[in-house]
């Protein structure tokens, strides 16, 4: 994977250090709290949420984002109207510190379209390679989505690069299948 990253001129950093993971999780928690404090963010977040019973090929169930036993009819309005950022932030910290032995950060020398495309290329290779080895990946990009927090990431990475993606890597319990569009519907 490191060889592929070099070929694409992308930096792939793997963090297994408990102190680095603690710093990442604190930054992610701050970003989550900040994002969920904004009503427009909560409405955007829940606009992609759908019921487990839905046959729609777009959207996501709540299983990957937060733990809730509430049915979708209740959880969606609750997330829309109330700021759950603190609880969701704590849930993410727990996932990061106690359920993820490794973090991967993909970073680039610049922050332009070519770098974004190469980040996606590496991500594809990384996701397929890790899945082939029986590992699971979860996106933890909240800290990258907040510009001032994103600027604090390079020193943790011991890098001057622009972080593009943060991923948690580990073994996970099986999850519910999420229906998707068919290949014929997505390829031009």
Q: Could you tell me which of 91, 99, 107 has the C-alpha nearest to residue 168? A: 99
Task: Write out pLDDT tens, residues 91-109.
Answer: 777 777 777 788 888 999 9
pLDDT at 70 over 70: no
Give the confidence band of 124 by pLDDT, cuts at 50, 70, 90.
very high
Query: Distance between CA atoms of 45 and 43, rounded to whole angstroms?
Result: 5
Residue 100 vs residues 24, 92, 152, 171: alpha-carbon distances, Å: 12, 11, 21, 8
* Mean pLDDT in residue range 3-18: 89
Residue with the larger pLDDT of the pair 72 and 29: 29
Q: Residue 40 has what pLDDT?
A: 86
H-helix or E-strand spanning residue 167: strand 162-170
Phi and psi based region of residue 158 (left: phi greater than 0; alpha: psi -120 to 50; beta: remaining): left
Please tell me whether residue 21 adopts helix, strand or coil conformation. helix
Task: Write out pLDDT tens, residues 146-163.
Answer: 999 898 888 877 777 899
Q: Could you tell me which of 63, 17, 35, 45 has the C-alpha nearest to residue 146? A: 35
């Amino acid at each position: 994977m490191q060889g592929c990253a070099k070929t694409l001129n992308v930096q792939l950093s793997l963090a297994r250090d408990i102190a680095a993971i603690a710093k990442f999780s604190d930054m992610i928690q701050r970003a989550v709290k900040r994002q969920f404090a904004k009503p427009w963010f909560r409405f955007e977040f829940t606009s992609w949420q759908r019921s487990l019973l839905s046959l729609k090929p777009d959207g996501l169930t709540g299983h990957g984002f937060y733990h809730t036993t509430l049915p979708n009819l209740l959880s969606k309005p609750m997330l829309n109207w109330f700021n759950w950022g603190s609880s969701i932030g704590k849930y993410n910290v727990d996932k990061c510190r106690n359920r993820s032995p490794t973090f991967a950060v993909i970073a680039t020398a610049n922050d332009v379209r070519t770098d974004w495309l190469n980040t996606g290329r590496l991500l594809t290779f990384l996701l397929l390679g890790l899945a082939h080895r029986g590992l699971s990946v979860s996106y933890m990009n909240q800290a990258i989505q907040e510009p001032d927090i994103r600027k604090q990431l390079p020193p943790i990475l011991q890098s001057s690069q622009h972080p593009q993606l943060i991923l948690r890597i580990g073994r996970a319990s099986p999850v519910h299948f999420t229906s998707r569009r068919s290949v014929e519907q997505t390829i031009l």
